[in-house]
Structure formats: structure tokens, C-alpha cells
Structure 1
Amino acid sequence: MFLKSEQDKVDDYKKLSRSPAQEEENKVQITFYPEKQNWHDNHDVYVIIKSSKKQLLPQNLRLFWNHKDITTSFKGIREVIFEDKLNMIIKIKDIRLLPFQDNDITAYYMDSESGIVSSTEYQKPECLLKEESNIVNTDPFNVKQSFINLVRTESEKANINPNLLIALIAQESGFNPKAVSYAKAIGLTQVTELANKHILDEHRRWKSDSRIKKLPVPIIRALIELGKINEKNEWRLDRKKSVIGGIEYIKYLENYWKGNITLIERVYGTNFNQEQVLTDLILASYNSGPFRIKTRLIKDGRAWKQSKSILEARKYVGKIKSYCNHFASNIQEDKYENQAANL
């Protein structure tokens, strides 16, 4: 007898899940909480299962990740926090989903008697450059409302998603206005020397300290802490200008990729989610530079994000999408713990 491969198991569940219409009433409802995957930190995930007729059993739930049955992997961190005949809440504790992986996650529940399988895919985080959304929270960062208002106002002026911008700031600097990277990217939006040139073309009166090009990073950081390099002689250290400058560079990258729309259509065809592809290309370019990303797009086509040479950019895009979705959501950490206690 041959053991089934992981793909065979997935296919078996998919076949079973295609039940006839008359059996639909025997299916169960499966949902995840948070509603979309979190790719930016460790977190708890809740699987909520509801049945209209049949008693639910925890052992009938199977979890697949990238076509592999990972149910047994969660034995030590899985807890049934509520269970009655028709409802079940399962908590998976402190998991980490890496942003450079595919993270195709599906929950299956098989009814013991009928063999009917219900399934739900765990949705991935999404974020579009032009999407309208409200900044609902900034957890785990402690961000002043005045700064949130600044991001919202400047985003609206530029017609870009405020949650994308505040997610970019979270990923770039962790909201530290004095942040300096080893590549000499500076400030909240971590503007590099190359990006600085493009931004100063639009804001010629903004001052940039010439010492930054010459000095090593530890010295630059020390001078910033001492106040020798500050928001008066280096615009990137000014909170408002850093936000505006970050937006300016995003708009530059947007125009760059719209100018390469023929290349994008040659790679993707004409029937594709243009807004999502453009957003991904813009974010990846903010991290790794547009020329580098364009090179991967030409060489690798649709698989450009899978290139090992831009792994950091893939992580970056994934984390920003995750933060963007998270900041737009009213995430309640104890929602299902409290619900279970009151049921």
C-alpha cells in the first residue's frame, strides 16, 4: 500500500468538498480571526466553526499550508477555547507567517457520518495604492493622533491610501523620526540619497546636509542625537517633510511604472489586476530601486517576486500589505476569548 502524497491529500479533500446541492445544508461554516493573515508579527489565530445540525468534533478539522497537511504540527499550540454541540472555537497560539512565503492556508472540516467536507481559505492581506480606507489603529506602535491626522491629510492630498503610507512608515522606521539605516536612508520614510535627488527636484528649498554623503553612519547617528544634524539643516528629519517626501517618491515610482505599462502588459497580458500589480511594483521599488525590480520583471516575468536576488523586497512588500490591512482593521485581541467566556 502506497502512502498518499501531501498533494493527493489536498486533492482528496477538494473532491469531497464538491458535494451535491442537496447536501449543502449539512456543511459547516468555517471562519478565521483575524479575517486576513498577519505577516508582520507573532499572533494568535482563531478558527471558528459553526454547524446548523451536526455535532462538531475537534479531530475532524484539518489545516493545510501550501498543500501540506500541518494539523499535527499544531498539537502543542492548539486549544479548544469553546465547544458545544453546534459551535467550536479553536485557538492556535503565537504563530508566525513569513511574508516571503506563499502562505496558501485552507481549513477543512469533514463530517464523520456523511463524509461531506466544508472548507475555507484563509485570505491573504491586501493593500492598494489608491484604496480609500481609514486608519483604525496603529497597534503595536504608540502613535500620536496628531501624526495620524498628518498622514491622513497628506495622503488625501496625494490621492493615495493612508494605510499604505502609515504601513510604509511602520516598516521603514518604526515611527522613529531620527532613524538612520546603514544605506544612509534617513527619517520616518527612510529616504535614500538617490530618492533624495528626485524629491529635491520638486522641493528645491528643502535643505539637505552635505555631510551625510561623506560621513560614516555611526557618526551621522551621533550628530543627529547631538542635534548637530537636525530638521533645520536636513529635511528628512522633519516629520511633516518626511511624510511629504515619502509621498513624493511614491508618486515618482508610480509615474515610472505607468511609463512602463507596455512592459507590464507584455508580462501579465491585458487581463490582470493592474492596481495590485502596480502597487507591488511601486513598493518593491521603494525598497530595492526601480531599475533592479524592472530587471527582475524582464528576466523572470510574473515570477519576479520569487527571485532570490530581491528576497528582501518580497519580505518588504508582504509586511507592508500586512500592516496596511492591520491598521485598517478593528482587531480585538480578546474578542473570542471573551465570547467563549460568555457562551
Structure 2
Amino acid sequence: MTIGEKQDLRTRLGKLLPILGVSVLAGCAGPSTPLGAIWKLGPDLAGQAELDADASERAEKDMDFEDLKTAFAPRDPEDPQVNLHPRHQVLHAARALRISIDDRQPEWGALTVKYDGFDVTDAFMNQAKVSHDVRKPGRWNLEVSDIRLSPNQLEHRIQVAYRSPSGRTATRSLAPPVCRERLPLSILRTEDFKPSKSLVRVIESISGKTGFNPSFSAALIAQESGFHSRRVSWARAIGLTQVTPLAESELLNRYPKWPQFPELNEIPVGQVKLLVLSGHVHSGNEWRLNPELSILGGLTYLQILEERWSKPENEALIRSIFRNPNRARTQLLLASYNSGYNRVLSALQRNGKGWMNSPELKEARKYVNRIISFCDHFSDKEDDDEIQT
């Protein structure tokens, strides 16, 4: 193995091992982990670890609901089946991953699990809890309780293949999370967050009036404030949707009668926090602390950003770069809310489909992926039905 190949291997393992909770101890001669014993990559490492040349191009595959329908097309009843729970990757938290295998054969076949081209079957099996589903003869469940997928990474490729003793095969990939900001999906769950039922109803009501997906709105709030209406950040963002002073100046052009605490944006942040905690600044004299106005303000600002991205020149740019412009628009919209429209536009013009790799958008990349993941899982009932962590 050449020095370059060793460096490439170390880079790939640095991404891979934390996924399954295995640490790498770096030494002068390279990783001291018993690589062969744990991973059993074998002599064909280069072939197994080969990645596509352009990750962002793969990320452009349209994962809308029509694609998901075709992924679950009817099969020959004699074929084995592989299902994954949850159905989509979770990028915002650690989550159990369950592989369910249905096979009518009396004996167990051969399972392969790959992450980004690496065969990680042994590592998975060493940590998996294996059980037979007595309710469904022929079904086996294999579950690892703590899978962490970094939202900083543009994509993760997780593939499962099973070969039955009959010779028939089944495969499944853990798809990336899916979110459409204008798709009307109800909020079915909020995971570890505990917003009041009345707040959830307000989110759904205002989302409906503004045309946004309620799960998308809830995901934005989860990421921005964790559903804490009195949250104040060191960037002077305030409230559920963490509206900044710059965004507020645009919103007050549309809603000039919304209450403002005098010179709040000029006061040192530490004092602002004290004023909010003490109750001197409250929902009656500062609109950003009013849950309803904060939600309406945040979604209105998203509409303002949408209008900018809908300009003919921007629309033409997006369509010239992306095969899936709808997915790109969602990402660009969220990144603009986090890092500013001008910064995101500049990155897009400069780097094309690699815009999220721009150093100045490192925080935005994580932000976008977490919100899309929240949005997907807030509206997915199967997560509740199939897996509890």
C-alpha cells in the first residue's frame, strides 16, 4: 500500500469508525486498530472502498415520494425481503438501526452491510441484537442501538444485501432524509422535544396560512431554539425562530405595528438575556418573544428569501446546475436563513453544485441537514410504529 493509499484509508476510517462507535487510535505507523480483525476488509480493499467521483452528483438523485413508491415495488413472494427501520437516515441524533429480514427458508443466509463502500458486516454483527419475530414466521431482526450519522457530511451510503440459502437475494439502502417545505405534512412526533400541544397547534395553523409544511416549520424551530420561546443567542437572535436584528429590520417593513422593546438590538447581549429572564422584556413589548408572532415572522422571512431565490436569474442558475432543483431550493433556502442570502448566492455562483462545501458555509451544511432530518422524521409515523429509542 502506498503512502497516498494509507492516507486515504485513514481519512475514510476517520469518517467510518465513529458511525459504529469504534474509536481509532492514531500512531506513527498509522491506525493501531486491529483493522483486519475488526473490519476484515480483505485484499480487495481498493475495490470495496471505491467511491463515486462526485458525491454531490449522487446527492442530486430525486428522493421524492414517487421514488419511494418505486423502491417498494411488489416482489416475487418467494424472494427474501430486507427492510430498514427507520426508513430514512437520521442526521440530527443518535438512533437505533434495525434490519428486518423476511425469508421463508429454514436456515439463515448471508448478510452484508456496507458503509460508503466498506464492508462493515462484522462490526455490525458484533454489536447487533438478533431476535426472531414470533409474530411473523421467517422474520429476523438485527438491531444496533446507537448509530450516529454526522450532519456535517454531505451524504452517507448505507447498503444492506442478503442472500438466501435458496440463492435468491434482496438489497436495501438507507435513503437520505426527505423534506419539502411546501408539502402539507402534519406533525406526528417531536422526538425528545416536549412542546405543548397548544404550541404545535399554533405551528400547524400559521404554517397552513403561509403555505409551509408544518413539519418543516417545526423542524426549523427545533433547530433554532429547541422550542424555547425565550431563547436568546449570542448573535442577538431571539425567540422560537431566532430572528436576527437584520431579519427583523426587513420584517418590520411588513409589520410596522409589531411591538419592539426600545433599543433592544443596541444593548449588550448579556444584558438582553438578563432582561428577558427577569421578565422586563416579554411577549407584550417585544414581538420576537411572542410565540405566534415569532413563528409568523420566521416563516415570513423564509417567504422573503424564497422571493429572492425565485428571481429569473437565480432560477436559471439553479436549473443549470442541479438535476433536482426542488431539493436544491430547499437547501438554499435554509442555508440563507442561517448564513445570509448574499453569502449563499456567492458560494453557489463560485462553486456550483459544490456550494455547500464552501468553508464559509460549514455551519450552514450541518444546519440544513439537521432541519431536513428533523422535518422528515417529525412527519414519519413509521418511526413510532417500528422503533423506539
TM-score above 0.5, yes or no: yes
Among residues 296, 312, 316, which one is paired with 2:363 in the alignment?
A: 312
Stretch moving more, 213-222 or 250-259: 213-222
Give the counterpart letter for 1:106 in structure 2: Q
**How much identity, in percent, do the aligned residues show?**
31
Q: 2:379 aligns with which of 322, 328, 333?
A: 328
Alignment of 1:292-303 (within 5 A): 292-303=343-354
Please tell me whether the aligned partners of residues 163 and 325 of structure 1 are also in contact (alpha carbons under 8 angstroms): yes
User: Which residue of structure 1 aligns with residue 308 of structure 2?
Assistant: 256
- Post-superposition CA distance 1:112-161 (Å, at most 9, x none): 563x5421111111101111211111221111121111111111111111
CA distance in 2, matches of 1:336, 1:206: 44
1:66 equivalenced with 2:109 (yes/no): no
| 2:7 aligned residue | none
Contact 1:56 1:88 in 2 (8 A): no
- The 2-side partners of 1:143 and 1:192 are apart by 23
Within 5 Å, give how 1:164-179 maps onto structure 2.
164-179=216-231
Alpha-carbon distance in structure 1 between the residues aligned to 2:281 and 2:213:
31
2 CA distance for matches of 1:158 and 1:6?
A: 51
1:287 partnered with 2:327: no
Give the secondary-structure state (helix, strand or coil) at the position aligned to 1:252: helix
Distance across 1 between alignment mates of 2:144 and 2:107: 21
Structure 1: stretches of 5+ with no match in the other structure: 12-22, 338-343
SS of the counterpart of 1:61? strand
Structure 1 residues 9 and 265: CA distance shift in structure 2, 3 A: closer
Aligned residues: 319
Report the counterpart of residue 14 of structure 1 in structure 2. Answer: none
Q: Secondary structure at the match of 2:108?
A: coil
CA RMSD of aligned residues (A): 2.3
Distance 1:32 1:8 in 2: 22
Does the CA contact (< 8 Å) of 1:129 and 1:275 recur in 2?
A: no
- Please state if 1:108 is matched with 2:161: yes
- Does residue 223 in structure 1 map to residue 263 in structure 2? no
Q: Give the structure 2 partner of residue 99 of structure 1.
A: 151
Residue 202 of structure 1, CA deviation: 0.6
Residues 276-330 of structure 1: CA distance to partner in whole angstroms, max 9, x if unpaired?
A: 2111110111111111111110111011122232121111111111111111122
Question: Is 1:159–2:159 an aligned residue pair?
Answer: no
Which residue number corresponds to residue 203 of structure 1?
A: 255
Equivalent position amino acid for 2:318 in 1: I
- 1:81 to partner: Cα distance: 2.3
Give the letter aligned to residue 300 of structure 2: E
2:63 is aligned to none
Q: The residue matched to 2:112 in structure 1 has which SS?
A: strand
TM-score scaled to structure 2, two decimals? 0.76
Match of 1:261, as an amino acid?
E
Task: Give distance in 1, aligned partners of 2:226 and 2:106.
Answer: 48
Separation (CA, whole Å) in 1 of partners of 2:185 and 2:176: 17
Letter in 1 for 2:293: K
Which whole-Å CA distance do the structure 1 matches of 2:240 and 2:321 have between them? 34
Q: Aligned residue for 2:176? A: 124
1:202-237 CA-to-partner distances (Å, cap 9, x unmatched) read 101112234332222221101101111222221101
Indicate if the aligned counterparts of 2:85 and 2:99 stay in contact, CA closer than 8 A.
yes
**Structure 2: where are the runs of 5+ without partners?**
1-41, 52-74
